[in-house]
Amino acid sequence: MDSQIRFTGFGGQGVILMGIVLARAASLYERPVGEDGKEKRMSAIQTQSYGPSARGGHSKCDVKISDQEMLYPFVEIPDWLVIMSQQAYSKYIQERRPDTKVIVDPDLVMDRPTGHIYYISATKAAESLGTRIVANVVMLGAFREISGVVSNESLERALMDALPKPTHDLNKSALAQGAKLGREAMEKKGKA
């Protein structure tokens, strides 16, 4: 089974880091147990694209995760679409299937689309942790909680790989905070 995930936002939000960490987690640390009872290797590929030369503008990061040898590694239509800016919303919202699950930061995106939508106020949550810089990590935590494509342990390990030591605690909190928001959003959806 393949999972196709797309993270979008504006330059500087760390959207690309989200994808790298997720793919790294799946690729190096995830060993799900298959039907045969054996640990299985997952493979993951991360790709990206951004507006004119990395300045402001939109930013996109695709991750494809598979429990088999990866053949075509690019996301065609995402199963999961995470949106963290209005500009990204306009650019990428069309590219989905009816069953694509969309996760949106409602404070950064004005529109309210229909379909499988989860709202995660990641930026606000990050601010309440003291810095907007970790909004992407909050969102990543929420995404993991909702999607379950990798385990929390793998994700945290991959995240710590990518970040300087002094920021580890902050980011762990952000991840946990995201997980919490994710659970809440799922509950809300469950009820709706």
Partner 1 sequence: MKPVINPKLCKGCNICVYICPKKCYTKGTDISEMGYFNAVVSFPEKCYNHNREGKLICELCVLSCPDQAISWHPETEEEKKK
Partner 2 sequence: MDIFEFYRKDRWPHVFCPGCGNGTVMNCFFRAFNEAGLSLDNTVFVGGIGCSSRVPLYINSDALHTTHGRAIAFATGLKLAKPGLKVVVFTGDGDLGAIGGNHFINGCRRNVDMTVICINNNIYGMTGGQASITTPHDFQSTTTPYGNKEYPFDLAEIAVAAGANYVARWTTRQVHELTKSMKSALQKRGFALVEVVSQCPTNFGRRNKMADPSQMLEWFKSNTVRRDKAKSAELDHVDLNLAGQITVGEFVDRNRECYEELIGVEKHG
Partner 3 sequence: MTIPPGEYFVQGNDACVEGALASGVKFFAGYPITPSTEIAEGLAQRLKGQNGVFLQMEDEIACISAVIGASWGGAKAMTATSGPGFSLMQEAIGYAAMSETPVVLVNVMRGGPSTGQPTKASQGDVMQTKWGSHGDYQVIAFAPATVQEMFDLTVECFNYSEKYRVPAFLLSDAEVGHMRGLLRVPEKLNVIDRKEMGIRRTDEAYDVPDDLVKPFPVFGKGHKAIITGMTHTETGRIEPEDSKVHSDLVRRLNEKVLRNRKDINKWEMIGEGSKTMIISYGSSALGAKEVATKDPNVGLLRLKSIWPLPEEPIAQAARGAQRILVCEMNLGQLFFSIKRVAQDAGCKQVELLSKLGGEPPTPSEVRHKLRSMGAV
Q: Which residues bind partner 2 (CB under 8 A)?
A: 52-57
User: Choosing among partner 2, partner 3, partner 1, none, which partner's interface includes residue 27 (Cβ < 5 to 8 Å by kind)?
Assistant: partner 3
User: Based on CB atoms, which residue is closest to partner 3, 31 or 188?
Assistant: 31
**Residue 57 in tokens:** 């503008």
Query: Side-chain half-sphere of 189: how many Cα atoms within 13 Å?
Result: 17
Q: How many CB atoms lie within 10 A of CB 161?
A: 13
First-last CA distance in the chain: 29
What residues between 84 and 143 interact with partner 1 by CB under 8 A? 85-87, 108
Site string for partner 1, 153-182 (x = CB under 8 A): ------------------------------
* Least Å from the CB of residue 56 to partner 2: 6
Shortest Cβ 174–partner 1 spacing (Å):
19
**Concatenated DSSP letters of 14-76:** -HHHHHHHHHHIIIII---B-TTSSB---EEEEEEEESGGGSSSEEEEEEEEESS--SS-S-S
The nearer residue to partner 3, 123 or 136, going by C-beta atoms, is 136
Q: Which residues bind partner 1 (CB under 8 A)?
A: 10, 56, 85-87, 108
